[in-house]
Amino acid sequence: MVYDAVIIGGGACGLMCSAQAGLLGKRTLLLERNDKLGAKILISGGGRCNFTNLHTSPTNFISENPNFLHSVFSRWSVEDTLSFFRCYGGIIGEEKTLGQLFPKSNKAKDVVSMFSKLMYETHQDVWLQTEVRSVEKLDGGYSVHLLRQGVEERLHCSKLVIASGGLPVGKLGASDLALRVARHFGLSVVPTAPALVPLTITGKDADWYASLAGNSIFARVFNSKISFEENILFTHWGLSGPAILQISSYWRPGDTFTIDLLPKFRLEELIKTERSLGGKRTVGQLLQGYFTRKFVDALAKFIPVHVKIASLSKVDAKLIIDVVHRFPVKPAGDKGYDKAEVMRGGVSTTELNAGTLESKRYPGLYFGGEAVDITGWLGGFNFQWAWSSGHAIAQDL
């Protein structure tokens, strides 16, 4: 069989690429090392798949060149994702929070079924349990060295799509293939790191964080560049929760960031009001209107919770305001690729044509999805990038 293209990776990008190629009347062969398609889609969003975000724009992505996204999103937008899911999968998007869309059925498997059906109907071939080991350049194409159900083979193709994702979560099939191929071909790779990942705390404050394990607080987490208002979660080893995952993508080892523990209120104002009422309550009693008893007890490590507001000195008032609104955090590290939702960095966009994602130096070689130096925020942005890039590549096959 002579295919228009070989696609490596049966995740979000590879599936969209194959399905779109099928709709254009092309034939592709998709190679996937797992024994099923869409392993990450199936577990994403807690099995419900947050498949896009209504507010998607290049500002929701980290990349050395976020402007690269304008071209890709102008060709396949959030509206296109929504109508595609509705038309081919009967999947209606339902907004949960902050523009995050999930299938109304709450079933991620509906998304994978939609792609499988479409690929079957458009005669796309799929080889499961097929691991690509390496790729070589040939005259007029590429040679793909693979291990298919234990047997080594070589495939030749004129167009090759690398949609093999990033490094997170090895047990779901992740591999470094895209990075290896890029380096082998001398393409520039932006340094990679776990992103959307929980952060660890060690040292003298570790016990304080552990004592709050399981407690969640709505907070604003920020550094000099960016700010996120969502929940944070204390754990036995440090911090997690959406706001922490978001800031983790901007965090570098050694960095400090700040948490405003009470972002919807100004403590100065609350103290002033309390004083005008006589200031009979203690700092702890005032804070208990906004935090759990457990959390106020924990704050006692840093601030005088038993002092009455009426007798609070200026210095103590400033300390309390600082701790509540400017709580500094210096993580020791992150939980690594096994707990990360995505990889930061990847194949540099400078190597790729913004319209087609084809390598500028190697005609017929394409990179899409997480393998590329485009990393979305938490909230459906990473899938939107995967769908958009898969679509862009398919148009060129």
Ligand X SMILES: Cc1cc2nc3c(=O)[nH]c(=O)nc-3n(C[C@H](O)[C@H](O)[C@H](O)COP(=O)(O)OP(=O)(O)OC[C@H]3O[C@@H](n4cnc5c(N)ncnc54)[C@H](O)[C@@H]3O)c2cc1C
164 binds ligand X (CB under 6 A): yes
Task: Decide: 298 and 314 in contact? Cβ < 8 Å.
Answer: no
Sheet with 93-95, strands from edge to edge, namely 52-53, 100-103, 93-95
Half-sphere exposure of 111 (CA within 13 A, CB side): 34
Closest residue to ligand X using C-beta atoms: 11
370 binds ligand X (CB under 6 A): yes
373 binds ligand X (CB under 6 A): no
Task: Decide: 162 and 181 in contact? Cβ < 8 Å.
Answer: yes
As a residue count, the chain comes to 397
> Could you say which of 126, 369, 373, 388 contacts ligand X (CB under 6 A)?
369
356 binds ligand X (CB under 6 A): no
39 binds ligand X (CB under 6 A): yes
Q: What distance in Å separates the CA atoms of residue 92 and residue 103, rounded to the nearest whole number?
A: 6
Range 177-196, binding ligand X (CB under 6 A): 177
- Find the shortest distance in angstroms from Cβ 239 to ligand X: 18
- Find the shortest distance in angstroms from Cβ 296 to ligand X: 33
352 binds ligand X (CB under 6 A): no
271 binds ligand X (CB under 6 A): no
Task: Decide: 143 and 155 in contact? Cβ < 8 Å.
Answer: yes
> Could you say which of 5, 6, 20, 33 contacts ligand X (CB under 6 A)?
33
From 86-94, 161-169, 229-237, 241-249, span contacting ligand X (CB under 6 A):
161-169
- Find the shortest distance in angstroms from Cβ 174 to ligand X: 6
Q: What distance in Å separates the CA atoms of residue 20 and residue 7, rounded to the nearest whole number?
A: 12
345 binds ligand X (CB under 6 A): no
Range 43-102, binding ligand X (CB under 6 A): 43-45, 49-50
386 binds ligand X (CB under 6 A): yes
For 208-234, letters b (16+ CB in 10 Å) and e give ebeebeebebebbbbeeeebbbbebbb
> Could you say which of 383, 388, 391, 394 contacts ligand X (CB under 6 A)?
383
**Maximum pairwise Cα distance, the chain:** 85
28 binds ligand X (CB under 6 A): no
- Find the shortest distance in angstroms from Cβ 313 to ligand X: 48
Task: Decide: 336 and 197 in contact? Cβ < 8 Å.
Answer: yes
11 binds ligand X (CB under 6 A): yes
Q: What distance in Å separates the CA atoms of residue 72 and residue 62, rounded to the nearest whole number?
A: 15
- Find the shortest distance in angstroms from Cβ 292 to ligand X: 28
User: How many chain residues touch ligand X (CB under 6 A)?
Assistant: 37
Q: Which of 375, 388, 370 is nearest to 78 (CA)?
A: 388
Give how far Cα 169 sits from Cα of 50, 133, 197, 248, 376, Å.
18, 18, 11, 17, 17
173 binds ligand X (CB under 6 A): yes
- By CB under 6 A, name the binding residues for ligand X: 8-14, 31-34, 39-40, 43-45, 49-50, 131-132, 163-165, 168-169, 173, 175, 177, 341-342, 369-370, 380-383, 386
